[in-house]
Chains A and B, each alone.
Chain A
Amino acid sequence: MSDTAIYVLVLTVYMLLLVGIGVLTSRRMRNSEDFYLGGRSVGPWVTSLSFVAAYFSSVVIIGGGAFGYRFGMSTLWIGASNVLIGIALVWMVLGRRIRLFTERLGTMTVPGFLAERFKAKEARVFAAFVIALFLIIYNVSILKGMGHAFEGLMGIPYIWAVLLSGVIIILYVSLGGYLAVVWTGFFQAWVMGLGLILLTFAALRAVGGLTEANVALRTMSPGLVNTPGEWGWAGMISYAMIVSFGVWGMPQLMVRFYSIKSVSVLRVGTVVATIGGSMAVLPFLNGAIARVLHPELATADLAIPTLTKAVLSPWGGAVFLAGVIAAGMSTFASVLIITSGAVVRDVVQKGLGRELSERQTVRYSRWVSALVGVVSLAIALRPPALVLVLTAFSWAAIASTCLWPMLFGLYWKRATRWGVLASMGCGLAAALIWIGIGSPFGLHGFIPGIVISLVAMVAVSLVTERLPDEHLDRVWGDG
């Protein structure tokens, strides 16, 4: 078989499996809670591995490899912060309360939780707009990453790659809703892990082992093995924060805790998610190894594709490509259904007050998911310059808006309606203004965004009236 035939065969089987999951899960669709939360019935393995799959996109694999290639072994810290702050602590600190509070408040979305928890209708529409706008921009960057991965690893033209992967995702998300998203995510996490482990073993064998890689890097430049090395503390820490602590405000990841069957899912789920999420360190390691094996690449983004072709057989390369595509598709699907929920639940039904029956809601949700997917796809085919600039900040904008309101909503009874509105407005404004003036000191806009958002949350809450005790008792389950 020729290399191309092997790649096409592996990918065709893979895409058919995904659509099959979409068809199977579409049979259990009775109401909107089924569409958006899988009827709150998801178990530990599917929840934890689909969390990991939604967290890491193709951008992380190719881009993480590029960071490893440029800065060397100190980038392992990004993987370590992902595992500790972005997974283990999130599951321990947020999981239980998100599940219990959202059920008591009867909400299915992040804007819905903020509105009901703080009795703030304005928070719902504001958060839904920020989430929908910046998640569509995030989706464009995910699709773009997949398109370039297809192009780099397989030679499929960018446009066809984007169309093919986009259409498949839109199909299974509109059909199967949340259950299709988490089941395909579960399956894709295994493919991602397999691809990354294959590449890592082959790369380590090619370079002669981890010790050899470190020795070779040090002879090139000591900054490639030291921490923070060539990167510097400010850049390294602010990047680690956005990609790890940012998770605490990301609706497509928080929703995994809404949908668990019961709190006891967290017991096994936390361990599985932390172990599965450890794969986050591998792209950085492989990027650093690529620096040893191929020191003269034109751009760092070529590190992973070049390494793959050099150390893996066509079958191994096809599996790795499937892993990269799996990373992108699972993230795109998770984001797509959240965007649809923000539009249908938070803007149309609650914001504009449109009365929809459960059957109508499911139908609307399917069409809106398809529409949002098609819009993301259309933008990704020829992204305008502004969208490309904003993709680097989509996490910063959403986290600056949602992170503290979520955390304080779960842990601080004194947080008030005005506190949360000030926190959301000031946080988003601070992040966007910082980005607008060109990110001074090389500091990511996420940092000023969450600092200002935190100050506004606490200061405004302390000078405004607290929420009634009976409401708080109901949320905390004391009543």
Chain B
Amino acid sequence: MGPFQTPWLTFFAWIVIGGSILLAIAWSVFGF
């Protein structure tokens, strides 16, 4: 069970959203 009583597989959706934002920032700083 992940944070907020969310099953991990469902909580991973929140991680994907945060990860997408970090990926976009990393791309614009390093990959552009």
Binding site for B on A (CB under 8 A): 73-74, 76-77, 79-81, 83-84, 87-88, 91-92, 209-211, 214-215, 218, 225-227, 229, 266-268, 270-271, 273-275, 278, 281
Contacts and interface: CB of A to CB of B under 8 A. Distances in A.
B20 A83 contact: yes
| Residue from B4, B7, B10, B31 whose CB has the most chain A CB atoms within 10 Å | B10
Interface string B5-23: 1110110111011011101
Contacts of B16: 77, 80-81, 83-84
A210 B24 contact: no
Interface of B: 4-7, 9-10, 12-14, 16-17, 19-21, 23-25, 27-28, 31-32
Nearest to B19: A84
Contact of B13 (A91, A268, A281): A281
Contacts of B19: 84
Secondary structure type dominating chain B contacts: helix
A226 B10 contact: yes
Given A73-B6, A214-B6, A270-B27, A80 B13 contact: yes
Nearest to B15: A80
A275 B21 CA distance: 6
Contacts of B13: 76-77, 79-80, 227, 281
5 contacts: A81-B16, A84-B23, A92-B31, A211-B5, A278-B20
Contact of A83 (B5, B6, B17, B32): B17
A229 B13 CA distance: 14
Given A226-B10, A267-B28, A270-B27, A211 B4 contact: yes
Secondary structure type dominating chain A contacts: helix
A214 B28 contact: no
B29 to A, nearest CB: 9
Contacts of A81: 16
B17 A271 contact: no
A227 B27 contact: no
B28 A268 contact: yes
A20 B28 CA distance: 34
Contact of B10 (A73, A267, A271, A278): A73
A210 B3 CA distance: 10
Contact of B7 (A91, A215, A226): A226
Given A83-B16, A84-B17, 6 more contacts: A73-B10, A77-B16, A80-B16, A80-B17, A88-B23, A227-B7
Contact of A88 (B4, B9, B12, B20): B20
B6 A278 contact: no
B9 A227 contact: yes
A271 B25 contact: yes
Contacts of A88: 20-21, 23-24
Given A73-B10, A88-B23, A225-B10, A79 B28 contact: no
A281 B27 CA distance: 23
A271 B6 contact: no
Contacts of B31: 92
Given A84-B16, A84-B20, A275-B21, A270 B28 contact: yes
Contacts of B32: 266-267
Contacts of B20: 80, 83-84, 87-88, 274, 278
B27 A92 contact: yes
Contact of B9 (A215, A218, A226): A226
